[in-house]
Amino acid sequence: MNKQSKREIFVNTSFDETRIGIMEDSRLSELFWERRSAGNIVGNIYKAIVENVLPGISSAFVNIGMEKNAYIYISDVLGGHKDPIERLLKKDQTVMVQVTKDAIGTKGMKITMDISLPGRYLVFTPYQEFVGVSKNIENYEEKRRLTEIIRRLAAEHDMGSKGCIVRTEAEGATEQELSREIKYLIRLWESIFKKFETCQAPQLLHKDMDLTLQVARDILSDDVSIYMIDNKDEYLNVVDFVSKISPDLKDRVRLYEGKTPIFKAFNIEKDIDELRKTKVSLPNGGSIIIQEAESLCAIDVNTGRFTGSKSQEETVTQTNIEAAYETARQLRLRNIGGIIVIDFIDMRRASNRHRVVDALSDAVKRDRAKIRILPITRLGLVEMTRERKRESTCSLLSEECPECHGSGMVLSSESMRIKIQREIYNLTLGRPGGNLRIMVHPMLMESLKKKQELMEKSVHRSLKILADPQLVWEDYRIVLE
């Protein structure tokens, strides 16, 4: 995707939730979701109590005041890097921690003791000494200018062993803007630390800002043409916030006052409805199939009806390249993280396999999550990892199906027919005579009626097959008359 493409941000708020859609080139590319009932705690800082230290897995469980304990791995514990975790943490010890990942599935929240406070231009790291500039700023002169400014400011504020990283958004920022932000972040850290020293544990020390303000801080920039919000109070909050941190972008924040709901007006609701589908069509007629599991996501690429006008190898390569771009978009849109395996269609030439991996690498450049892509195998498989901080959109929107118990499959109508016949035979011991009523799901009734003659021959009885809308697919009742 062209890095200069314009982005648009649309915010839909209600009493129960806030949804934010980010459009790139008029297509929905990313969704943020915050529900009042769940509450977003990523970025929050707590005074916590160590509950259990587990040397066997170099981890500890920590009480931050939630129903479920959070867990911390040794690499996120401050102290000697070579020391075992039982030397660094003790049961009932109080520690300051920050949530880095929400609870996902059966896993609790992940936390770190290496606190970081993000601003618009800077990330302040009180337990790191490094002072530098984001590697995503590629212009050498700009990088040197920002490096000189941040080192001067660090010395001026006597940061000592504290650190600071200049974010990509700081490109073009003035020394005055950076100075104002570093002062604010240092004051914020001092107030958090003071509260930590005086309050009882477990206790919330600092809550990260609301979703609309986080998006204004992290995403609203020169390449965003509009930030439109459908709630007046949220709009005024964002305008006030943007006026302080980036006044030149204030005019891009707009209030939506149309009668049609904002997500419907900009065709976002339609895209959200598609998110639970496993099959995603590609423009050329091919498709990708997305299947999520708790710790892994498998994506399969199919050519479908696309035959192309050139050789089969070129047709396959074109489909794979299209699939690479759509896969990157779907991973962001569905917020899929962890291990991802993509089964591209087999290509004979190594050069074409490299073209597909290059396309995938290019496609994920706009993704703010950390991504690692491994080389494509001879079978056309690509393994990649994507940083996961919150549960996927599909997990948020859905729950286990009570009929298939999460498998996505129910017994076929033929399997149900044979099962019912077997039970009738066991009930009647195969003796002929008498009538039977069978109550089944309405859709199954249609299928069974087509095979009624065969069923009656099998059980040597007359059958009345009736529909009961109260029954689920695999449920049925047999009544002897």
For residue 439, name the pLDDT band (cuts at 50, 70, 90). Answer: very high
Average pLDDT over residues 219-236: 92
For residue 435, name the pLDDT band (cuts at 50, 70, 90). Answer: confident
> Tokens at residue 45, please?
């800082």
Return the ∠ at Cα 207 (arms to 214 and 213), rounded to 5°. Answer: 20
Residue 93's pLDDT is what? 94
The CA distance from 19 to 397, in Å, is: 12
Q: Which range has highest mean pLDDT (319-328, 385-394, 401-410)?
A: 319-328
The CA distance from 57 to 29, in Å, is: 38
The CA distance from 438 to 420, in Å, is: 9
- Report whether pLDDT(250) > 60: yes
Average pLDDT over residues 126-133: 89
By the 8 A CB rule, do 39 and 67 touch?
Answer: no
- Report whether pLDDT(309) > 70: no
Residue 186's pLDDT is what? 92
* CB neighbourhood size of 331 (10 A): 24
Residue 102's pLDDT is what? 84
**Whose CA is closest to 338, among 396, 407, 390, 289?**
390
Q: Which amino acid is at 337?
A: G
Q: What pairs with residue 298 in β-bridges? A: 291, 341
Average pLDDT over residues 34-60: 88
By the 8 A CB rule, do 313 and 349 touch?
Answer: yes
Residue 458's pLDDT is what? 85
Please state the three-class secondary structure of the chain as a single string. Answer: CCCCCCEEEEEEECCCEEEEEEEECCEEEEEEEEECCCCCCCCCEEEEEEEEEEHHHCEEEEECCCCCCEEEEHHHCCCCCCCCHHHHCCCCCEEEEEEEECCECCECCEEECCCCEECCCEEEECCCCCEEECCCCCCHHHHHHHHHHHHHHHHHCCCCCCEEEECHHHCCCCHHHHHHHHHHHHHHHHHHHHHHHHCCCCEEEECCCCHHHHHHHHCCCCCEEEEEECCHHHHHHHHHHHHHHCHHHHHHEEECCCCCCHHHHCCHHHHHHHHHCCEEECCCCCEEEEEECCCEEEEEEECCCCCCCCCHHHHHHHHHHHHHHHHHHHHHHCCCCEEEEEECCCCCCHHHHHHHHHHHHHHHHHCCCCEEECCCCCCCEEEEEECCCCCCHHHHHCCCCCCCCCCCCCCCHHHHHHHHHHHHHHHHCCCCCCEEEEEECHHHHHHHHHCHHHHHHHHCCEEEEEECCCCCCCCCEEEEC
Instruction: Specify the range with the lowest mean pLDDT, choosing from 106-120, 176-190, 357-371, 394-408.
Output: 394-408
Using one digit for the tens of pLDDT, what is the confidence trace for 441-462? 999 999 999 999 988 888 888 9
Residue 2's pLDDT is what? 42
- Report whether pLDDT(101) > 70: yes
- Report whether pLDDT(262) > 70: yes
Q: Which range has highest mean pLDDT (19-33, 156-170, 305-319)?
A: 19-33
The burial class, CB within 10 Å (0-12 / 13-18 / 19+), for 130 is exposed
Residue 105's pLDDT is what? 67
Q: How many Å is the Cα radius of gyration of the chain?
A: 29
Using one digit for the tens of pLDDT, what is the confidence trace for 313-364? 888 999 999 999 999 999 999 999 899 999 999 888 889 999 999 999 999 9
Average pLDDT over residues 122-140: 88
For residue 1, name the pLDDT band (cuts at 50, 70, 90). Answer: very low
Residue 308's pLDDT is what? 55
Residue 427's pLDDT is what? 87
Q: What pairs with residue 287 in β-bridges? A: 281, 302
Q: What pairs with residue 304 in β-bridges? A: none
- Report whether pLDDT(370) > 70: yes
Average pLDDT over residues 261-275: 92
Contacts of residue 78, defined as CB under 8 A and 6 or more positions apart, other chains included, come to 88, 113, 114, 127
For residue 383, name the pLDDT band (cuts at 50, 70, 90). Answer: very high
Contacts of residue 446, defined as CB under 8 A and 6 or more positions apart, other chains included, come to none
The CA distance from 425 to 431, in Å, is: 8
Instruction: Specify the range with the lowest mean pLDDT, choosing from 102-106, 125-129, 191-195, 345-349.
Output: 102-106
For residue 205, name the pLDDT band (cuts at 50, 70, 90). Answer: very high
The CA distance from 26 to 217, in Å, is: 22
Average pLDDT over residues 214-238: 92
- Report whether pLDDT(165) > 60: yes
Average pLDDT over residues 123-150: 89
Mean pLDDT across the chain: 88
Query: What does pTM read for this prediction?
Result: 0.78
Average pLDDT over residues 198-213: 91
